[in-house]
């Protein structure tokens, strides 16, 4: 058995465990143990698949020119450990920047086959037709579950962020958690070979739900 607890504890201090690779963007290498990555990929392959959508003015649309991947709904028990690591990482980043009450949306477990991609977009919406959860997104969290050196492996599929003048490639190795502001422009470049597996989640502002 792997021991995610030890890794989560290491995330409690983002300054020591995380690397700020661009303004406001932090990576925690090895936050999700490799064995958990492999188990999650197996669970994704065993789960159903639906083609990925994009949210436009309150509606989920299929647009494979914009986003080509499949989403795999895992049983809560299979998703829980990865979700907890993503939640802990996002909370650590928010704590460092002064955060409000937030909750986790996701994770979504996404599979990008050869040619799969997600063109430049922002995860946080300002369209009032979109849900409060999407309008309230503060921190985007991504954990790649495999990389060029894993089995299965893939090539291409870089996560490129646009925090300033120059694009920045997120340091995505299997098990690394990357956190960045949800209003930051970013894209997943096309997968050239193999299959890319990733977990994606968002911390969103609870007050924007209007329930408080």
Ligand X SMILES: O=C(O)CCC(=O)C(=O)O
Query: Cα(149)–Cα(4) distance, rounded to whole angstroms?
Result: 22
Q: Choose among 58, 69, 20: nearest CA to 199.
A: 69
Q: By CB under 6 A, is residue 117 in contact with ligand X?
A: no
Taking the C-alpha atoms of residue 16 and residue 113, their distance in angstroms, rounded to an integer, is 35
**Smallest gap from residue 187 Cβ to ligand X (A):** 7
User: Closest distance between Fe ion and the C-beta of residue 130, in Å?
Assistant: 14
The mark string for 133-152 relative to ligand X (x by CB under 6 A, - otherwise) is ---------x----------
Q: Which is nearer to ligand X, 17 or 159 (CB)?
A: 159
Touching Fe ion, residues 101-130 (CB under 5 A): 123
Q: Does 89 help bind ligand X (rule: CB under 6 A)?
A: no
Give yes or no for residue 188 binding ligand X (CB under 6 A).
yes
Nearer residue to ligand X within complex by CB, 82 or 188: 188
By C-beta, is 9 or 24 nearer to ligand X?
Answer: 24
Task: Name which of 2 and 21 has its Cβ closer to Fe ion.
Answer: 21
Binding site for Fe ion (CB under 5 A): 123
Residues making contact with ligand X (CB under 6 A): 110, 118, 123, 142, 159, 186, 188, 198, 200
């Amino acid at each position: 058995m792997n021991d995610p607890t030890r890794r989560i504890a290491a995330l409690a201090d983002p300054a020591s465990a995380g690397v700020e690779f661009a303004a406001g963007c932090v990576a925690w290498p090895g936050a999700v143990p490799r064995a958990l990555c492999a188990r999650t990929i197996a669970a994704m392959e065993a789960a159903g698949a639906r083609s990925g959508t994009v949210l436009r003015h309150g509606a989920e649309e299929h647009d494979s020119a914009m986003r080509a991947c499949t989403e795999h709904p895992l049983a809560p028990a299979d998703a829980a450990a990865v979700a907890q690591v993503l939640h802990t990482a996002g909370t650590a980043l928010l704590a460092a920047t002064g955060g409000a009450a937030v909750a986790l949306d996701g994770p979504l477990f996404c599979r990008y086959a050869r040619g799969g991609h997600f063109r430049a977009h922002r995860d946080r919406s300002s369209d009032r037709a979109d849900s409060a959860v999407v309008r309230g997104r503060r921190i985007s969290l991504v954990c790649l579950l495999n990389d060029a050196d894993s089995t299965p492996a893939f090539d291409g599929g870089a996560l490129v962020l646009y925090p300033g003048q120059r694009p920045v490639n997120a340091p995505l190795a299997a098990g690394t958690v990357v956190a960045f502001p949800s209003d930051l422009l970013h894209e997943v470049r096309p997968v050239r070979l193999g299959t890319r597996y990733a977990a994606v989640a968002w911390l969103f502002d609870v007050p924007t739900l209007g329930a408080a």
